[in-house]
């Protein structure tokens, strides 16, 4: 049987498998995102390869909270933390997750969708630009934070990003 990719909105019963296979970031990340989804603030989407979670993305309906972006861009849902596990990259899964986000966003009546991407992440920037995302023109900005992993170790991170926008009229 050929491997099958399924993209769908996360449900409560998905959380244990996401915690098992998608271990990047804080331990409670998946539960927190699901709770926010129940409140209507976000839609948490996952990619499954033969029923195993291999990717995810968070679609934030109220846009990004990054002040450098919100000072210039509003009424634009934000794509955050698009991730496909190393073993499943370059199989079109990231592209399918992005298309799913764009479809949901257009269904809700929005005209555009945005995302921040690290300036050093050339492969992601190529993907986004190939799919029609364009530089928003606001310039570079910094993001960062801290989290505690599954072993109780605190990690901090910082990244310089640019913000890209996709106009949805063509989808």
Domains by residue range for the chain, with CATH: 5-170 (3.40.630.30)
C-alpha 42/C-alpha 4 separation (Å) is: 26
What are the φ and ψ backbone dihedral angles of 117, each rounded to 5 degrees?
-140, 140
Phi, psi dihedrals of residue 21, rounded to the nearest 5°: -105, -25
SS3 164: strand
Structure tokens at 117: 């991407």
- The answer to whether the beta carbons of residues 59 and 79 sit under 8 Å apart is yes
pLDDT of residue 23: 85
Task: Report pLDDT digits (tens) over 70-128.
Answer: 999 999 999 999 999 999 999 999 999 999 999 999 999 999 999 999 999 999 999 99
pLDDT, residue 2, reads 55
Let me know how long the chain is: 171
pLDDT, tens only, 151-162: 888 888 899 999
Q: How confident is the model at residue 39 (pLDDT cuts 50, 70, 90)?
A: very high
Residue 69 CA, distance from chain mean position: 16
Q: pTM for the whole thing?
A: 0.90
Would you say residue 4 has pLDDT above 60?
A: yes
> Which pLDDT value is given to residue 1?
40
Note whether 168 and 133 are within 8 A (CB). no
- Could you tell me the pLDDT band of residue 171, with boundaries at 50, 70 and 90? low
């Amino acid at each position: 049987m050929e491997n099958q990719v399924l993209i769908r909105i996360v449900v409560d019963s998905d959380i244990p498998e996401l915690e098992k296979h998608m271990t990047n970031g804080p331990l409670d990340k998946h539960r927190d995102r699901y709770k926010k989804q129940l409140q209507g603030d976000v839609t948490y989407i996952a990619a499954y390869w033969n029923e195993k979670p291999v990717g995810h993305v968070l679609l934030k309906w109220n846009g990004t909270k990054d002040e450098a972006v919100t000072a210039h861009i509003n009424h634009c849902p934000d794509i955050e933390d698009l991730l496909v596990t190393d073993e499943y990259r370059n199989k079109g899964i990231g592209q399918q997750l992005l298309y799913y986000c764009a479809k949901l966003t257009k269904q809700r009546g929005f005209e555009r969708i945005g995302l921040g991407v690290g300036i050093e992440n050339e492969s992601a920037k190529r993907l986004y630009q190939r799919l029609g995302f364009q530089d928003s023109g606001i310039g570079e900005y910094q993001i960062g934070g801290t989290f505690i992993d599954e072993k109780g170790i605190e990690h901090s991170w910082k990244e310089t990003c640019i913000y890209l926008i996709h106009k949805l009229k063509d989808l």
